[in-house]
Structure 1
Amino acid sequence: MEDVVGIIVAPIVVFLVIVAPIWLILHYRSKKQLSQGLSEAEIRTLNDLARQAEGMADRIKTLESILDEEAPDWRNKV
């Protein structure tokens, strides 16, 4: 009977001493990073990407207007 208890208790002790503290530290560290939001570098990158997307949208509108003038039925071919 004592052997069975020893077999059950050993993994529980290892879990509580090693795995659980590491798990808790990593969990709360990730929660802290999520609550901080974006860093300055990420905000700059996001703004650059938004600016590039606006420029691409303008280019697409220009290309579509050129195609509308030169080949009015180009939209039906797709």
Structure 2
Amino acid sequence: MEDVFIALIVVPMIFIGLPWVILHYVTKWKTAPTITADDEVLLEELYNLARRLDERMDTVERLVASDDPAFTPARRLIADQEKDNQQLRELEALIAEKKGIRS
């Protein structure tokens, strides 16, 4: 009796429940919003702004260090690490490629 009861529960779960869950999440994934052209432009502007601000921060730190030899800059991301620079080069190449395609 228990085997029949278990079979009546497990079989519908496998053949109805599992495909329903999979198809539900596939549909959610396909209807999820993607990045728009406006979003790409905004991200590019934010990236350029962050890069300019980082350059300004380096300049300010250099000026303060020249005035005060005891000054030590705050610990932040180091722009001269090769692994970071490689990622930035890849990002800049993608941006340049996108601009080349759109032009």
TM-score by length of 2: 0.50
Matched with 2:3 is 5
CA distance in 2, matches of 1:44, 1:20: 40
How many positions carry a matched residue from both structures? 70
Q: Structure 1, unaligned stretches of length 5 or more? A: none
Pairing 1:42–2:39 present: yes
> CA offset at residue 12 of structure 1?
1.9
- 1:22 alignment counterpart: 20
Q: Sequence identity of aligned pairs in percent? A: 16
Alignment equivalent of 1:59, drawn from 56, 60, 63: 56
TM-score, scaled relative to structure 1: 0.60
More helix per residue: 1
Q: Which has the higher contact order (CA 8 A, sep 6+)?
A: 2
Instruction: Name the CA distance, whole Å, in 1 between partners of 2:26 and 2:52.
Output: 40
The CA distance in 2 between the partners of 1:21 and 1:39, in whole Å, is: 31
Q: Which runs of 5+ in 2 are unaligned?
A: 76-103
Q: Following TM superposition, by how much is the alpha carbon of 1:70 offset from its aligned partner in structure 2, in angstroms?
A: 1.4
Cα gap change, 1:66 to 1:46, in 2 (>3 Å): same
Q: Deviations over 1:12-68 (max 9, x none)?
A: 234221x222322214653x57xxx74324323321221121121122112112212
